[in-house]
Amino acid sequence: MHRLAGKPAPKKMLLDVAQLERAFHDRDSDAASPARRVSFGTSGHRGSPLDGSFTAAHILAISQAICDHRAAQGIDGHLFLGKDTHAASAMAERTALEVLSANGAHVVVQKGDGFTPTPVISHAILQANRAAGHQADGVVVTPSHNPPEDGGIKYNPPNGGPADTDVTGWIQDRANQLLENRNRDVRRATTVTLRTRDLVMPYVSDLATAIDMDAIRSAGLKIGAAPMGGASIQYWPAIAGHYGIDLTVTDDTLDPRFGFMTLDHDGRIRMDCSSPQAMASLVKLKDKFDIAFGNDPDADRHGIVTRSGGLMNPNHFLAVAIRYLLRHRHEWPTTSLVGKTLVSSAIIDRVVAAEGRRLMEVPVGFKWFAPGLHDGSCCFGGEESAGASFVRRDGTVWTTDKDGILMCLLAAEITAVTGRDPSEHYAEIARDLGAPVYTRVDTPCSPAEKAGFKRLTPESVTAVTLAGDPITGKLTRAPGNDAPIGGLKVTTANGWFAARPSGTENIYKLYAESFRDEKHLGQILDEARGLVGRAMSAA
């Protein structure tokens, strides 16, 4: 833990926005360098102008590639373009608009040069596509919770969710072709064409179809909301005013340097609403509110703060949310699945089983939930990284991308309807179903070793026990959809581990959980490292 973790950011470490803008426009993308090529991970392309991995050249190429994809697929409806509050986001939006305009895209942006959360873009796409005809899609300019110097851009197809790998792979490859040709084939307009629209109130006024807003108002809850300087900053006051709830925005500062933040565990500024260090300012205020919460800059993630427990572990709130929804959404079909990523806590498995419902366990990436959320066959999808969404109260689609605003309001609904906050609910779950301990460890590995994860098979694991328990599962494909997990998961009755390579760094991520204690978790980690090493050698 860094010595300044949880403390205000010193002025000397704040971003030089002018320097960032110069780097964005002036740095060569250097398509020959692997670190500077377009790379679409689970949430689009991310990088920083300062190291040449997120520049105007990248945005020109990606925007043209998106236009080429739209043309190939016959997508000619509105393109909803949103941005968050990172400094590079406004720069990238302006650059993208030049290309989108030149290609004749019918771009819609928030009026008044406002900011738009990821879930609002998903909601707008789905609403536009309810009628037959021209299909809408969207682009969000955001690096999510990443540090102030970073930028990001992602594409949402007509189903409103994150694009699948076949789409992102095509866009990535086409963008890199354009970069290699120094963007000579990129169309670029000198005058941009767009339509401005209020995207705030259509989303806000529709929230009552997914959340019991009347219960929140009637309970008279005192609510605290921390936008963390992000795109939800325009939404929380609108929600409070529209529904007449007692909600206070705890800090409405807009600063592209995010100088008001407390530092994360490693001493960096990072707007991670699941980090106790980054959320320290709100946690200090917990006793002033019945329930409080925060969102990252594009508001697709949530952080829940309760009086009784402080900042909740994301896995814990997912378990509470799922149990509550399955017990209180009586119009949801009992056949609809509950989705989780395979690195999310197994307490979710136990909650779903206890409620007599079926689980869908998928690889990392919210895109795997989008089809089911869209057609209603999946009522809830959640990730251990504090991202989730669920269907409307009548069981139809709400958003097909992560919705941090929705999840925060669900925490308020749970508190209002039950008279207990989510931490108290989790204590009950832990008492009845077990209290697991969970961790993630990042371990350096070479590009060659990362590639080796794709060659793993269940037969690569020869061990029959893990930390004293018989191994019950050896997975290289997700049980919920048979998709490759890009790594390995090994399970027992009392714990599990999963190992997968990072898409952006030379590390592999080792997740582990024990339903016994910290000592047992340590045993799982120690044996997991050996198992992974031997499996990689065998592969």
Q: Flag whether pLDDT at 25 surpasses 90.
A: yes
Q: How confident is the model at residue 111 (pLDDT cuts 50, 70, 90)?
A: very high
Across the range 307-314, mean pLDDT stands at 97
Q: What is the DSSP string of 37-90?
A: S--EEBTEEEE-GGGTSS-HHHHHHHHHHHHHHHHHHT--SEEEEEE-SSHHHH
Q: What is the CATH number of domain 202-433?
A: 3.40.120.10
The answer to whether 425 touches 253, Cβ cutoff 8 Å, is no
Alpha helices by DSSP H, listed for 258-333, are 280-283, 314-328
| Sheet with 378-383, side-by-side order of all strands | 359-362, 337-341, 378-383, 387-390
Q: Collapsing DSSP states into helix, strand and coil, what is residue 238?
A: helix
The residue that leads in pLDDT, 386 or 537, is: 386
The residue that leads in pLDDT, 31 or 28, is: 28
Percentage helix, strand, coil for the chain under 3-state DSSP, each rounded to 5? 40, 20, 40
Q: Collapsing DSSP states into helix, strand and coil, what is residue 142?
A: coil
Q: For residues 252 and 450, give the distance between their C-alpha atoms in angstroms, rounded to a whole number.
A: 42
For 531, the token pair is 């198992």
Q: Which of 129-133, 158-162, 247-251, 356-360 has the lowest mean pLDDT?
A: 129-133
**Start-to-end Cα distance in the chain:** 36
Question: Domain coordinates of the chain in residue numbers?
Answer: 17-198, 202-433, 437-538
The pLDDT score that the predictor gives to residue 188 is 97
CA angle 425, 209, 214 (to 5 degrees): 65
Q: For residues 213 and 231, give the distance between their C-alpha atoms in angstroms, rounded to a whole number.
A: 22
The answer to whether 94 touches 150, Cβ cutoff 8 Å, is no
- Dump pLDDT digits (tens) for 47-75: 999 999 999 999 999 999 999 999 999 99
Q: Flag whether pLDDT at 415 surpasses 80.
A: yes
Share of the chain above pLDDT 70, in %: 99
Across the range 237-256, mean pLDDT stands at 98
Q: Which of 171-175, 339-343, 447-451, 489-493 has the lowest mean pLDDT?
A: 447-451
Q: How confident is the model at residue 537 (pLDDT cuts 50, 70, 90)?
A: confident
Q: Give the mean pLDDT of the chain.
A: 95
Q: Flag whether pLDDT at 308 surpasses 90.
A: yes
Class of domain 17-198: alpha beta
- Dump pLDDT digits (tens) for 316-351: 999 999 999 999 999 999 999 999 999 999 999 999
Q: Residue holding tokens 């065998």? A: 538
Across the range 35-43, mean pLDDT stands at 82
Q: Flag whether pLDDT at 31 surpasses 70.
A: no
The pLDDT score that the predictor gives to residue 322 is 98
Domain 202-433 and domain 437-538 have a common topology = no
Q: For residues 436 and 493, give the distance between their C-alpha atoms in angstroms, rounded to a whole number.
A: 12
The pLDDT score that the predictor gives to residue 535 is 81
Q: What is the DSSP string of 158-200?
A: TTSSPPPHHHHHHHHHHHHHHHHTTTTT----SS---EEE--H
- Dump pLDDT digits (tens) for 189-229: 999 999 999 999 999 999 999 999 999 999 999 999 999 99
CB-count exposure of residue 471 (10 Å: 0-12, 13-18, 19+): middle
Q: How confident is the model at residue 32 (pLDDT cuts 50, 70, 90)?
A: low
Q: Residues with catalytic annotation?
A: 144
The answer to whether 160 touches 401, Cβ cutoff 8 Å, is yes
Q: What is the pTM of this model?
A: 0.96
Q: Which residue from 66, 78, 131 is spatially nearest to 105, judged by alpha carbons?
A: 78
The pLDDT score that the predictor gives to residue 444 is 87
Q: Flag whether pLDDT at 539 surpasses 70.
A: no
Q: Which residue from 331, 521, 345 is spatially nearest to 429, judged by alpha carbons?
A: 345
The residue that leads in pLDDT, 445 or 414, is: 414
The residue that leads in pLDDT, 344 or 132, is: 344
- If you ran DSSP here, which 8-state letter would residue 36 be given? G
Fold of 437-538: TATA-Binding Protein (3.30.310)
- If you ran DSSP here, which 8-state letter would residue 131 be given? S
Q: Which residue from 471, 453, 451 is spatially nearest to 462, judged by alpha carbons?
A: 471
